[in-house]
C-alpha cells in the first residue's frame, strides 16, 4: 500500500470511530455548563459573605505533596506524569484540601489565624471494582483552619447546610459521625485484618463481622463493642444511648464533643436534619474528630462530606487544627433536579438577532446595554434558519431588523410582532414583549 493510500485509510478509520473523551471524563455543554457556573458562583458568594477568601490551587501537584497529605489515596490510583522541564513526578490532584494545607504552611505564614479559605476546582477520583475508571468531580469547598473548639465544626457544617438551602435544596439529611470510637477498638486489631473488619463495620454487616472477628481472634470485649457500634445509628437520641454503652478510653469525651456540635447545629435551626452514625469508618485514618455527610434524594451518594483533620497541617510543617468540607456539584445538581427544583442558572435574558442594516446597527448595542444577551446571525439569514437557531440554542425570541419595521418572533407561544426600531424608545417595549411570561 502506498503512503498516500495508507494515510487515507488511517484517516477513514479515525473518522469512522466516535471521538470520545477518556474514560471517566466528560464534557459540559450548553446550557449545563452555564448552569454549573452559576451554581458555583452562588455558592462561592455564600462563602464570601461569611468571610471565606477564595484560593485557586493548581490542577496538578508534585507527587510528594499529594501523598504526604492524603494517606487514604492508594498511590497506584494517582495519575502521574513527569514534568519535561524538571524531571519531577507530578500527579493530577485527587483532593484539594492538601493543596490548601500546603498554601497555609508555606505561602500564608504571615497571616494570623484563623484561616477562612474556600475553593472551586476539579479533582480526579479513581473508581475501583468493575467500573475501574477515573471520574472527574467538580468540587466547591471551604477550610476553617486554626479553630480547635467545636464552634469551628459547627460553623463549617452549618455553612454546608446553609449553602444547600441557599441554592434551593431543602430536603436533606446531615449525618454526624466520628471515627474515634471505631478507631480506638480497631487499634488493637491485627493490621492484616483491619481493612476487612472496617469494611464490615462501615457497611453494618454484623454477620460477616462476627465471622471475621472469630478468624482474627478478636477479644470478646472488642467484638461486642464493634457490634454495639453497629446499632448506634439514627436520630440524636443515639448519643444518649452511646454515653451509657461506651465508657472505654476517651469515648465519653468524644461523645461530649459530638453532642456539643449537635447542640450548636440545633441552635442554628438544623436539629431536625441531624442524624448520627457511630459506626462510620470513612476517613478512619484521616479524620481526627467529628466528620459529616449530607445526603439527599437522587444521587444515591453524598452531596457533601467533610470533617476535622487536625493532623494534616503538621505534615507540611505547621501544626494547626482544621476542619472543612467539599460539595460535589454534580451530585448537588442531581439532588436539585430530583427535588423538582433544578438550578436553571441562566439569569441572562437572551435573544437571537439577524445582523441588522447600517441604520439599525445600534440595536445589538442598545439591547446589551439593557442586560440582554444578543447572539447575531449573518445578514441575509432566512427566517427558517434563524428560527431553527433560536429554538435549538434556547433563545427567547428571534429578531429581524429592517429599514421598515423590525420583526420579532417569540418562541414560548409562537407570537409575532413588528416594532419601529428607528425610534430607540421602542427598544424597552421589544424587551418587555420578548420576555413576557418567562421571568
First-last CA distance in the chain = 63
Predicted pLDDT at 198: 85
- Alpha-helix runs per DSSP H in 231-309: 237-245, 251-267
Distance, in Å, from the CA atom of 77 to the CA atom of 129, rounded to the nearest integer, reads 12
The DSSP string of 93-155 is: -S-SHHHHHHHHHHT-TTSPSPEEEEEEEEEEEEE-TTS-EEEEEEEEEEEEES--SHHHHHH
**Is 308 part of a structural domain of the chain?**
no
How far CA 419 is from CA of 158, 225, 406, 416, in Å, comes to 52, 78, 5, 10
Q: How many domains does the chain have?
A: 1
Predicted pLDDT at 130: 43
Distance, in Å, from the CA atom of 434 to the CA atom of 143, rounded to the nearest integer, reads 44
Burial of 29 (0-12, 13-18, 19+ CB in 10 A): exposed
Distance, in Å, from the CA atom of 397 to the CA atom of 435, rounded to the nearest integer, reads 8
**Is 157 part of a structural domain of the chain?**
no
Could you tell me the three cell numbers for 297? 434524594
Predicted pLDDT at 131: 45
Predicted pLDDT at 132: 44
Distance, in Å, from the CA atom of 119 to the CA atom of 56, rounded to the nearest integer, reads 6
Q: 249 preceded by cis ω (within 30°)?
A: no
CA-based nearest residue to 242, from 192, 294, 288, 181: 181
Label the pairing between strands 173-178 and 274-277. parallel
Q: Cα-flanking dihedrals φ and ψ of residue 273, to 5°?
A: -95, -5
Task: For residue 370, count other CB atoms closer than 10 A to its CB.
Answer: 12
**Is 68 part of a structural domain of the chain?**
no
Q: pLDDT tens across 179-220, in order?
A: 888 888 888 787 888 888 888 888 888 888 888 888 888 888
**Is 286 part of a structural domain of the chain?**
no
**Is 283 part of a structural domain of the chain?**
no
Give me the average pLDDT of each 10-residue run along the chain (439 residues). 59 61 81 89 96 96 82 72 86 92 96 97 72 74 97 97 96 94 82 84 85 82 86 93 88 95 97 94 88 95 95 94 97 94 75 80 87 92 95 94 86 92 78 85
**Is 198 part of a structural domain of the chain?**
no
- Collapsed DSSP state (helix, strand, coil) of residue 233: strand
> CATH number of the domain that 424 lies in?
3.40.50.800
**Is 359 part of a structural domain of the chain?**
yes
Q: pLDDT tens across 17-41, in order?
A: 567 877 777 888 888 888 899 999 9
Distance, in Å, from the CA atom of 68 to the CA atom of 71, rounded to the nearest integer, reads 7
Distance, in Å, from the CA atom of 120 to the CA atom of 123, rounded to the nearest integer, reads 10
Range of the domain at 361: 349-434
Predicted pLDDT at 331: 95
Burial of 384 (0-12, 13-18, 19+ CB in 10 A): exposed
- The pTM for the full model equals 0.85
What's 336-404 look like in SS3?
HHHCCCCCCCCCCEEEEEECCCHHHCHHHHHHHHCCEEEEEECCCCCHHHHHHHHHHCCCCEEEECCCC
**Is 291 part of a structural domain of the chain?**
no
Distance, in Å, from the CA atom of 15 to the CA atom of 226, rounded to the nearest integer, reads 58
Could you tell me the three cell numbers for 185? 477498638
Residue whose C-alpha cell is 451530585:
331
Amino acid at each position: 500500500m502506498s503512503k498516500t493510500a495508507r494515510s487515507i485509510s488511517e484517516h477513514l478509520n479515525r473518522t469512522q470511530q466516535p471521538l470520545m473523551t477518556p474514560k471517566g471524563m466528560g464534557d459540559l455543554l450548553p446550557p449545563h455548563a452555564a448552569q454549573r457556573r452559576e451554581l458555583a458562583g452562588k455558592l462561592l458568594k455564600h462563602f464570601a459573605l461569611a468571610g471565606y477568601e477564595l484560593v485557586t490551587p493548581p490542577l496538578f501537584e508534585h507527587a510528594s505533596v499529594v501523598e504526604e497529605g492524603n494517606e487514604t489515596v492508594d498511590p497506584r490510583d494517582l495519575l502521574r506524569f513527569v514534568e519535561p522541564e524538571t524531571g519531577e513526578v507530578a500527579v493530577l490532584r485527587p483532593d484539594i484540601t492538601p493543596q490548601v494545607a500546603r498554601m497555609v504552611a508555606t505561602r500564608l505564614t504571615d497571616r494570623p489565624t484563623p484561616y477562612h479559605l474556600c475553593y472551586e476546582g476539579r479533582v480526579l477520583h479513581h473508581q475501583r471494582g468493575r467500573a475501574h475508571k477515573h471520574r472527574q468531580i467538580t468540587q466547591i469547598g471551604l477550610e476553617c483552619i486554626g479553630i480547635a473548639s467545636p464552634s469551628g465544626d459547627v460553623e463549617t457544617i452549618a455553612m454546608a447546610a446553609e449553602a444547600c438551602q441557599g441554592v434551593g435544596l431543602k430536603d436533606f439529611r446531615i449525618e454526624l459521625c466520628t471515627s474515634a470510637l471505631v478507631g480506638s477498638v480497631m487499634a488493637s486489631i491485627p493490621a492484616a485484618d483491619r481493612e476487612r473488619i472496617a469494611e464490615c463495620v462501615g457497611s453494618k454487616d454484623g454477620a460477616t463481622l462476627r465471622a471475621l472477628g472469630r478468624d482474627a481472634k478478636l477479644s470478646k470485649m472488642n467484638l461486642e463493642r464493634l457490634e454495639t457500634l453497629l446499632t448506634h445509628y439514627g436520630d440524636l437520641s443515639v448519643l444518649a444511648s452511646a454515653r451509657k454503652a461506651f465508657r472505654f478510653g476517651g469515648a465519653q469525651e468524644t461523645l461530649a464533643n459530638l453532642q456539643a456540635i449537635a447542640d450548636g447545629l440545633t441552635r442554628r435551626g438544623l436539629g431536625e436534619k441531624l442524624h448520627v452514625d457511630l459506626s462510620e469508618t470513612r476517613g478512619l485514618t484521616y479524620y481526627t474528630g467529628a466528620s459529616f455527610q449530607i445526603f439527599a434524594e437522587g444521587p444515591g451518594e453524598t452531596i457533601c462530606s467533610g470533617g476535622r483533620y487536625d493532623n494534616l497541617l503538621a505534615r507540611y510543617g505547621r501544626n494547626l487544627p482544621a476542619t472543612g468540607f467539599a460539595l460535589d456539584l454534580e451530585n448537588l445538581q442531581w439532588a436539585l433536579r430530583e427535588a423538582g427544583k433544578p438550578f436553571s442558572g441562566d439569569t441572562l435574558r437572551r435573544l437571537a438577532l439577524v445582523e441588522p442594516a447600517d441604520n439599525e446597527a445600534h440595536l445589538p448595542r442598545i439591547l446589551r446595554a439593557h442586560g440582554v444577551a444578543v447572539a447575531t446571525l449573518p445578514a441575509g439569514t432566512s427566517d427558517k434558519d434563524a428560527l431553527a437557531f433560536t429554538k435549538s440554542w434556547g433563545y427567547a425570541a428571534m429578531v429581524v431588523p429592517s429599514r421598515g419595521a423590525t420583526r420579532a418572533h417569540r418562541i414560548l407561544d409562537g407570537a409575532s410582532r413588528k416594532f419601529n426600531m428607528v425610534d430607540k424608545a421602542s427598544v424597552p417595549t421589544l424587551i418587555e414583549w420578548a420576555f413576557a411570561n418567562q421571568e
